[in-house]
Amino acid sequence: MAVCLPAGGPSLGKAGAEGAFAIPGETSLLTCTVKKFAESLGRFKEALFFEGDGDMGLKLVLRRMEELLQVVEGIINLYPGLNHNHSLDTATAVLANRVTDLSTDGREDVRSHRYSDIFHDLDALELSFGNATIDLFMNEAERSPPGQDPSPVPDTMSKQEIGSECRANGVEREQVTAASVRAVQEADEMLVRCEGGVDTALLYAKLWCKYTKDLLSWLERHLALEMEFAKGIIKNAEAAKSQINQEKFMPFQYVYTLALEYEMKHGHVVIDTGTGLQINKYIQPLSQRRNELERCRKEFKEQWQREQRKMGEALSALRKARQVYWQRCEELQRGRQEETPPATVSTNTTGSSGKQLEKRKRLREEAHSKVEDAESGYKRCVSDANLRRCELERLKTHIIINTRKLIHHGDLTLKTVSMNLFGVVQDQRERLPLTLQSLCEGVRSYEPGLTYLQFLHQRQLLEHSPEPYQFEEFTVPNKR
């Protein structure tokens, strides 16, 4: 039986403050504050490194920036002393303006300059936060009573470690991100150098599209079955609730009524959740990303095949031009060898011999002209082949880099929707044990026969003393 508790998570009161931010005067919680700030800052830097082209990457940067601003605002609310002279407010405002300008600057050189300014502002924010944290820690130590350890918690960090925690985590995450960027660049260069680099990249894109298509098909069928089942559960629970409430004072009537209400509510939650996953939390965004990658993959494949055909035609023309050039050169060489040396010509040469010499000279000039024409055509074909080779290499690099970016954005979308899916499932599964536990406690606390006594009390029956039965003798009736 699928049941659920009413929606409601832990509030951001005392528990939220102790888990997310530090409470002044407690050094261990101050350490948690430093760690949370460092993690948020690291996620923002990672989004900057992988921002790439398109609105998806820019939205990720803006979302990470919003999370960082929320963390800083929460820290300032709990630790007003960290914002001495509004240093953190100023640093975060400058950083936010830099990030906002990314969406308005379309030129690549301007965007690169903006990134340089953003990382400079990040360094300023880290420095301001680290110095303010050290000052706050030392003030807490000075306010501690004499002879009392200002940091009694065993896992408390020293003031040097607190001051460098943000910088250390930021540097470590930046190193990891830089290593990832280098690995991506090396992979692109390796595919560009390989003969089948484009085919390999497009093959993975094709397999990725098939994989996500299978995931979408599974989830669509799963949601259809689950939502249809939930509708049946709701209908059955509504009918059962109206039936079991027709009689009063029945055992566990309240418990089963509550269970049926939970079941109906859970059915509506399943339907709403399935609708959300279909529209904007899983199927629709992943389908759009998959369709975009599939469309670009087909376009890249057509461009690559078309450019390869042009390259093949250029190479075919080059081979023909080279063959013609070599033939013309061989003909010219044979003509020169067949000529009679001037020293062997007799002084009694007749007029016919002069005409023969003129003919040979004319043939030699024609052969030389053919060689020049063939050489010119051959050089032109060489130039065209080299130009086609450059265009082919340029297209190869373009396809490999953009395919990798599309796959990265696809992985990012798949990561987001997968977190949405499993987060919803986890939320539903976490509510179920609490609901079953509350119902079980309701059953355990019941005393057998209690509802029967309540039923009798409600009837308000009147008491009466039964009279004893007596023996009556038979008497003959009088006859007249």
Each of the 480 residues of the chain gets a pLDDT tens digit; together they read 333 333 333 333 333 333 333 334 445 566 777 778 888 877 877 777 655 445 566 777 788 888 888 888 888 887 777 777 777 878 888 888 777 777 665 555 555 566 667 777 777 777 777 767 766 665 555 454 444 444 443 344 444 554 455 455 555 555 556 677 788 888 888 999 988 999 999 999 999 999 999 999 999 999 999 999 999 999 999 999 999 988 888 888 888 998 999 999 989 999 999 999 988 889 999 999 999 999 999 999 999 999 999 999 999 999 999 999 998 888 888 877 766 555 444 544 555 677 777 777 777 788 888 888 889 999 999 999 999 999 999 999 999 999 999 999 999 999 999 999 998 888 887 777 777 787 788 788 778 887 778 777 777 777 777 788 888 888 877 765
d(CA 31, CA 14): 17
Nearest to 201 by CA among 410, 396, 414: 396
In a domain, 113, yes or no: yes
Q: The domain that contains 249 carries what CATH number?
A: 1.20.1270.60
**Quick one: 132 and 215 in the same domain?**
no
Residues with Cβ within 8 Å of 418's Cβ and at least 6 positions away in sequence, in order, are: none
Tokens of 258: 């509550």
The 8-class DSSP code of residue 82 comes to G
Nearest to 202 by CA among 298, 306, 303: 298
**Quick one: 245 and 376 in the same domain?**
yes
Chain position carrying tokens 């199927």: 283
Q: The domain that contains 50 carries what CATH number?
A: 1.20.120
Range of the domain at 419: 194-337+358-455
**Quick one: 279 and 377 in the same domain?**
yes
Other residues' Cβ atoms within 10 Å of the Cβ of residue 339: 12
d(CA 47, CA 352): 91
Tell me the per-residue pLDDT of 273-303, one tens digit each, with 9 for 90 and over. Answer: 999 998 888 999 999 999 999 999 999 999 9
For 10, phi and psi rounded to 5 degrees?
-65, 135
Nearest to 75 by CA among 37, 39, 46, 43: 37
In a domain, 185, yes or no: no
d(CA 164, CA 35): 11
Considering Cα of 228, then 230, then 231, then 237, what sign does the dihedral take?
Answer: positive
For helices 197-244 and 253-276, angle between their N-to-C axes, nearest 10 degrees: 150
* Domain end point (choices 100, 121, 140): 140
Phi-psi region of 248 (alpha: psi -120 to 50; beta: other; left: phi over 0): beta
**Quick one: 198 and 135 in the same domain?**
no
**Quick one: 104 and 219 in the same domain?**
no
Chain position carrying tokens 């002209």: 369
**Quick one: 393 and 310 in the same domain?**
yes
Task: Report CA-CA distances (Å) from 436 to 86, 258, 433, 447.
Answer: 51, 11, 5, 19
Q: What domain count does the chain have?
A: 2
Tokens of 176: 């990891």
* Domain end point (choices 140, 161, 180): 140
In a domain, 471, yes or no: no
**Quick one: 135 and 280 in the same domain?**
no
**Quick one: 100 and 221 in the same domain?**
no
In a domain, 474, yes or no: no
Considering Cα of 291, then 416, then 93, then 90, what sign does the dihedral take?
Answer: negative
Residues with Cβ within 8 Å of 161's Cβ and at least 6 positions away in sequence, in order, are: none
**Quick one: 299 and 419 in the same domain?**
yes
d(CA 348, CA 26): 125
For helices 55-78 and 87-102, angle between their N-to-C axes, nearest 10 degrees: 170
**Quick one: 113 and 230 in the same domain?**
no
**Quick one: 314 and 205 in the same domain?**
yes
In a domain, 479, yes or no: no
DSSP secondary structure, 324-371, as one string? HHHHHHHHHHHHHHHSPPGGG--TT--HHHHHHHHHHHHHHHHHHHHH
- Quote the pTM value: 0.56
In a domain, 146, yes or no: no
In a domain, 285, yes or no: yes
Q: What's the distance, CA 378 to chain centroid?
A: 52
In a domain, 315, yes or no: yes
